[in-house]
């Protein structure tokens, strides 16, 4: 008897829907016959990469015939100094996304429960699905993580908890003291992944002190990325900070050269470029204020955001409005898959991109 290909694949793949990324500019321009479009769909930094990162990358180009440093020594040392942690508490990933997968591969088996918020970054659910673990998804409350309900959902089978703070796609964060209390209350034999991809956009008073829990030996992995405020999404580089024992387990399943040499030098240079980070944060704050005001004037409810994107309710099917915006060369993200059928997730762009987005949305909704 001939077997079908899907019979050979892991049974966990049958319910897995591939991640759907924001449309690349080139594809939209080809498909809709537009030019000069603006991409506000993937929460990238509209100011671009740090000039210091570009310089470091250019200087590293002649060495491309060599394999990268598999352990990422220089970047881990730089991160260790930056965050005042030990270098062996650090693991680099091909984007922080890779680290989410490594956690799944290292810890999850069928029967284990994985706890996360239902409308949080979709990769948590995918990691649970692909390992055959049991998904325990707790709905958000007022568009933010409902930590007390998540805590109440912990059982003896809970092995892993994902928390995104700030959360994608809502842009909300939880009270820093409430998050610290949650981390203190979770039983110590559960692994917690705290995904802080948008951490650097938070004002200081909203930043929880999560590294204190790593220093205290809790099985916590704090994830950060160079894809957002550092403007290096195309390089694919992120990192995790966790106790050495936890990082050691993840290293067992990590591919030897998972982060490339240009990413390592670019990230180290970007980390040292405080001016670029500050300018990016200031531009984001101004752009967010502008867009919130414009959306409010259009009568559209906007979820209060602390990140570099806004979740706005356009009051009609998001997919339709997205397509009408695409025809005007504005690329945004519909979020029906997250259970928000009439919302759009819009990344804060440059001043002119924000203006263009607001005008296009007004034209589409007014039409
Ligand atoms: C909450 C969250 N976590 C992780 C990621 C993955 O980022 P990267 O793999 O580019 O580091 C994203 C990207 O959009 C995100 O929104």
Pair 124, 100: CB distance under 8 Å: yes
For the record, the structure tokens of 38 come out as 């603006």
Kindly report, residue by residue over 6-36, the tens digit of the pLDDT: 889 988 888 888 887 777 888 888 888 888 8
Q: What are the tens digits of pLDDT across the range 194-211?
A: 999 999 999 999 999 999
Q: Give the lowest-confidence range in 21-30, 50-59, 77-86.
A: 21-30
Separation of CA 167 and ligand 1 centre (Å): 10
CA nearest ligand 1 atom 12, residue: 197
pLDDT band of residue 367 (cuts 50, 70, 90) is: low
Phi, psi of 17, rounded to the nearest 5 degrees: -100, 125
Taking the centre of ligand 1 as the mean of its atom positions, its distance from the CA of residue 363, in whole angstroms, is: 31
**Residue of 163, 195, 197, 236 best suited for mutating to test ligand 1, as the one with most atoms within 8 Å of CB:** 197
What is the 8-class DSSP label of residue 144? B
Q: Which residues contact ligand 1 via a Cβ below 6 A? A: 43, 95-97, 121, 164, 168, 195, 197, 225, 227, 233, 238
Give the whole-angstrom CA distance, residue 130 versus residue 108. Answer: 9
Mark 202-228 as b/e (b = at least 16 C-beta within 10 Å). Answer: beeeeebebbebbeeebbbbbbbbbbb
Interval between CA 97 and ligand 1 midpoint (Å): 6
- Is pLDDT at 1 greater than 90 in this prediction? no
Closest residue by Cα to residue 94 from 198, 223, 222, 219: 223
The closest residue, in CA terms, to atom 15 on ligand 1 is 197
| Residue pLDDT, tens place only, 211-235 | 999 999 999 999 999 999 999 999 9
Averaged over 70-95, what is the pLDDT?
A: 98
Which residue ranges form the domains of the chain, and what is each CATH number? 22-48+275-366 (3.90.1150.10), 51-272 (3.40.640.10)
Cα distance between residue 48 and residue 286, in whole Å: 17
What's the pTM? 0.95
The residue count of the chain comes to 367
């Amino acid at each position: 008897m001939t077997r079908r290909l899907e019979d050979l694949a892991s049974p966990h793949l049958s319910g897995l829907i591939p991640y759907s990324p924001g449309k690349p500019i080139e594809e939209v321009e080809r498909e809709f016959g537009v030019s000069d479009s603006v991409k506000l769909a993937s929460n990238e930094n509209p100011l671009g990469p740090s000039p210091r990162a570009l310089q470091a990358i250019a200087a590293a180009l002649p060495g491309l015939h060599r394999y990268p440093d598999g352990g990422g020594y220089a970047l881990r040392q730089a991160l260790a100094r930056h965050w005042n942690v030990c270098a062996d508490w650090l693991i680099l990933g091909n984007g922080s996304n890779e680290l989410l997968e490594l956690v799944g591969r290292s810890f999850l088996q069928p029967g284990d429960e994985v706890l996360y918020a239902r409308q949080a970054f979709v990769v948590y659910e995918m990691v649970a699905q692909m390992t055959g673990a049991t998904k325990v998804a707790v709905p958000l409350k007022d568009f933010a993580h409902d930590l007390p309900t998540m805590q109440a959902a912990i059982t003896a089978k809970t092995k892993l908890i994902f928390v995104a703070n700030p959360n994608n796609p809502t842009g909300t964060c939880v009270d820093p003291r409430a998050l610290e209390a949650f981390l203190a209350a979770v039983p110590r034999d559960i692994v917690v992944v705290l995904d802080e991809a948008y951490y650097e956009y938070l004002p200081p008073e909203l930043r929880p002190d999560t590294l204190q829990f790593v220093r205290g030996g809790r099985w916590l992995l704090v994830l950060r990325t160079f894809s957002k405020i550092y403007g290096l999404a195309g390089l694919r580089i992120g990192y995790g900070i966790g106790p050495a024992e936890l990082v050691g387990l993840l290293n067992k399943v990590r591919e030897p050269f998972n982060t490339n040499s240009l990413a390592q030098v670019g990230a180290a240079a970007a980390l040292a470029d405080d001016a670029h980070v500050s300018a990016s944060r200031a531009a984001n704050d101004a752009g967010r204020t502008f867009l919130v005001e414009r959306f409010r004037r259009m009568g559209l409810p906007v979820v209060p955001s602390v990140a570099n994107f806004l979740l706005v309710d356009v009051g009609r099917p998001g997919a339709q409005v997205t397509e009408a915006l695409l025809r005007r060369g504005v690329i945004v993200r519909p979020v029906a898959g997250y259970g928000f059928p009439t919302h759009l997730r819009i990344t804060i762009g440059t001043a002119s991109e924000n203006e263009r987005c607001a005008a296009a949305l007004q034209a589409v909704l007014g039409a």
